């Protein structure tokens, strides 16, 4: 399961840049997980997220 904690996300866009098929900015300017398919990319994005807002479990 890939998800983004909306309370932690600061909308930096790093995860969207790294995994454009996995994450998308929403109307609040935060990131949403839009696909569960690429766990490896999501893990990479999670490691690069400045606020540890991406949960991969």
Which neighbouring-strand residues pair with 31?
Answer: 25
Q: Is residue 2 part of the contact set for ligand SF4 (CB under 6 A)?
A: no
Q: Which residues of 8-22 are buried (b: 16+ CB within 10 A; e: fewer)?
A: ebeeeebbbebbeeb
Q: Which is nearer to ligand SF4, 37 or 55 (CB)?
A: 55
Query: Per-residue x/- mask for ligand SF4, residues 7 to 26, rule CB under 6 A?
Result: --xxxxxxx-----------
How many residues can be counted in the chain? 57
Binding interface with ligand SF4 (CB under 6 A): 4, 9-15, 30-31, 49-51, 53-54
């Amino acid at each position: 399961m890939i998800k983004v904690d909306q309370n932690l996300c600061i909308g930096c866009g790093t995860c969207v840049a790294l995994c454009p098929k996995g994450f998308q900015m929403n109307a609040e300017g935060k990131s949403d997980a839009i696909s569960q398919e690429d766990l490896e990319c999501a893990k990479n994005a999670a490691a690069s997220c400045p606020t540890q807002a991406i949960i991969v479990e």
